Chain A
Amino acid sequence: MIPRSEFAKGFMLSVPATVYVAFLVAAPLVILVTYSLWTQTYVDIDRTVTFSNYREAFTDPLVRHLMIRSILIAAAVTVVTVALAYPIAYFIALKTQRKTLWLLLITIPFWSSYLLRVFAWKLILGFNGVLNSALLALGLIDEPLTFLLYNEFAVVLTLAHAWAPFAILPIFVSIQKIDPSLLEAATDLGNSAIESFVRITLPLTLPGIIAACLIIFIPTVGDYVTPSLVGGSDGKMIANLIQVQFGAANNWPFGATLSLLAMLSVGFVAIVFVLGMSGLGRRIR
């Protein structure tokens, strides 16, 4: 065997995966930008460079409305998911001996098809659905509740369910890393349980919380399945409009423009969030 440098070996082995992913991230991006500068004329694509798609996207109230709603829904989903998940992560990390069992129990449902889980929520929340029929049978309500399905509430609930482990795991890891002697010291120095949580546990788990927020927020803005199945007309999001451009409307250049704008908005909000959170982290300490 010809001895080769560590660099050469490591580089050669990692090249296929890196190049594959980098290509499939970069090339579509270049093509999206190109397409966004073209226009659709019926079945053909007019390759004259123009910013008319961007002009249309910025002036069309529907686009602005859907973009803002997507970001707000994603933000709501992020907050709800993390708030619901934090106590669970805390419980698993500090209050139970059976950590492995709990972690396994929490992850198992999420290896099933995402499409099917969203579909199940549609059946649960429907007018003649599982929840309404159960409440009627128990005599708790007289007529079916109508606020359950086809609105933002249904979208947020379904996505808060879909993202649960992605919030629990990073927060669990960050709680797990806290040195227990810090909490003991806080108690010895006269801090109450709540005080030591706010002053020690919460700031030290901030990196886990930030990670969870990003993992949830970024893909949620572009979610297609949930708004389509449980969103109704009040819960539609930007991904639905993008899909229409590539499907029924057959306006790929405009779809490409919307994809790019969605990506930029997500990136912008994420960067502002990370900067804001790290500022907050410094203030608490």
Chain B
Amino acid sequence: MKRFSGLQTYAVLYLGFLYLPVLLLPLFSFNDGTIVAFPIKGWTLEWYRQLGDQDMLIRALRNSLMVGGISALVATAMGLFAARAYVRYNFRGKGFSEGIVMLPLVVPGIIVASSMLILFISMGLKPSLSAVILGHIFLALPFSVSIMKSAFDNFDVSLEEAAFDLGSSVFETFRRVTLPIVAPGIISSLLVSFTVSFDEFVLAFFLSGNEPTLPVYIWSQIRFPAKLPNTLALGSLLLLASVMLLVIAEFFRRRSSKSLV
């Protein structure tokens, strides 16, 4: 690139717009004042230190970790099977099935949340963390299916056939050939599904009852101006966690496929 073109300038400005809110939270979480405005009064770690004393926060964190962990495992298992079917086999109804699995991406959140609430109550399942898990599996499935699809795309079927020919059982072949090759895809899918669940708010807001997940807890804190610095500190930690998880997931996904996007 010889000169700094207009388009390039625009791209850099746009990047600034994208990063502005994400960088502001951490910046003001170190601010030694309770109002989020310039000039910054001084630097402190007090807001972070106080987080450790809040029992509800710790409980919400535990809830979120559990919900995210279980949702990620189940979504990835289902995604693994489905993606293998889509990549490996031709069967009637394949296109239909692939379309259905992507639906959770396009249904408005409030409609999913309200309709699941009614459904679960009608089935006798009270708002609870179990209800949130069922909802988050639903939301994470499209992500795990697409990640696992790209992992299987680069998988050479003849390796499995060779293992069969050499006398391996189905289970042995899966454990010793298939699994190690698609393992990076599985890790990536686990991390992405976990992050989807960990950051999700509206569904958890409707379904969690009196056991808040972390975003639901944050929502309850946003209303109190006095709690603002703590919320900023907590938010910054969450931002950091999400971005780190995703960068690791991306690393594994790239190892399992050579696609660009």
Contacts and interface: CB of A to CB of B under 8 A. Distances in A.
Given A31-B118, A90-B7, A113-B215, A7 B101 contact: no
A35 interface: yes
B202 A132 contact: no
B114 A259 contact: yes
Contacts, number: 250
A123 B103 contact: no
A21 B103 contact: yes
Main SS of chain B's interface residues? helix
Contacts of B135: 24
A59 B111 CA distance: 22
Interface residues of B, number: 87
B17 A223 contact: no
B201 interface: yes
A265 to B, nearest CB: 11
**Size class of the contact patch on chain A:** 35 or more
Given A112-B22, A133-B37, A137-B38, A103 B260 contact: yes
B166 interface: no
B173 to A, nearest CB: 10
B239 A113 contact: yes
B214 to A, nearest CB: 9
Contacts of B107: 25, 218-219
Contacts of B218: 115-116, 119
B250 A123 contact: no
A271 interface: no
Contacts of A219: 106-109
A20 B137 CA distance: 9
A128 B115 CA distance: 39
Interface string A235-276: 000010011001000001001100100110010000000000
A66 to B, nearest CB: 12
A14 B20 contact: no
Given A18-B82, A103-B261, A132-B37, A263 B111 contact: yes
A73 B78 CA distance: 36
Nearest to A92: B11
A214 interface: yes
A124 interface: yes
Interface stretch (B44-52, B55-63, B86-94, B175-183): B86-94
A246 B206 contact: yes
Among A14, A22, A133, A169, max chain B CB count under 10 A is at: A14
A194 interface: no
A119 B235 CA distance: 10
B20 A17 contact: no
B92 A99 contact: no
B69 interface: no
B24 interface: yes
Nearest to A176: B260
A164 interface: yes
Interface of A: 1, 6-14, 16-18, 20-22, 24-25, 27-29, 31-32, 35, 84, 87-88, 90-92, 95-96, 99-100, 102-106, 108-109, 111-117, 119-121, 123-124, 126, 128-130, 132-134, 137, 161, 164, 169, 172-173, 214-215, 218-225, 229, 239, 242-243, 246, 252, 255-256, 259, 262-263, 266
Closest 10 CB pairs of A and B: A222-B108, A10-B89, A28-B115, A120-B21, A133-B37, A10-B91, A13-B85, A17-B82, A14-B85, A113-B199
